[in-house]
Structures are given as structure tokens and as C-alpha cells.
Amino acid sequence: MKPLLLVILGGGIGSGLRYLVSQYLNPLISGFYLGTFLVNVVGCLLIGLLLGTTLRTGSTNPAQAALLATGFCGGFTTFSTFGLEQFLLLKQGSYLPFLAYSLGSIALGIGAVMLGFWLARFLA
């Protein structure tokens, strides 16, 4: 139960911070989501630092990982997890799964948004 509460706490903080950054930075450049872009890049950097440090030092703290990696980075941006998983596939030499996951996530993600918009026309 404790790890779940830590994920919820970290996720709430990360989501709130993502909202604030996006609200402040997105309007600065017309037609470009600067806040979202920066949040995604910073989230990838943070999850890399957190998990890279954990691997380098050999110390595994499940509570810290739940709060910071899964919770905060997951709430701050789900792109951080995507970036980490892509890195792990490359590190393993799994190039075909890397390409399938990359292209599939982008294409199907955009397609799913389009489908959702299309389906919403019938629900309203």
C-alpha cells in the first residue's frame, strides 16, 4: 500500500508542475508547445539521472523509485517512461522492437487521438 501512496503523491506533484509549466510556457511561442516540449525532455533527463544513479551505485530504494521515477516522472510526463524504454531496447541491441515501438507508439497514438475525436462526434 505504501508504494501506491508514494506513486500517487509523486504523480500529483509531477502533474501539477507539468500543468504550471505548460500554462506559463506554451503561450510564449505561437504554434509550438514549448512547455510540453521542455517537460518531456526534462522528464527524460530526470528519469535517466534517477535510474542511472541507482544502477551505478547499486542501491535500490523501491520507495524512492515509486515516488520519483514512477510517480513524479510519470505524472510530469509519460514521455519519460517511453524514452527510458526506448533506451533500454537500444542498449539491448533490440533494433527491430525499438523501431516498432517508436513508430507504432507515434503513429497509433496520433491515430487513436484522431479516432477519439471522430467517435466523440457520435456521443455528443
User: Residue 89 and residue 38: Cα distance in Å, rounded?
Assistant: 24
Give the chain's mean pLDDT.
89
Task: For residue 124, name the pLDDT band (cuts at 50, 70, 90).
Answer: low
Alpha helices in 1-124 (DSSP H): 2-25, 34-57, 62-64, 74-76, 79-91, 95-123
pLDDT digits (tens, 9 = 90+) for 27-71: 998 888 899 889 989 998 998 888 888 878 888 788 888 898 889
Mean per-residue pLDDT, 93-103: 93
Asked whether the whole model's pTM tops 0.95, one would answer no
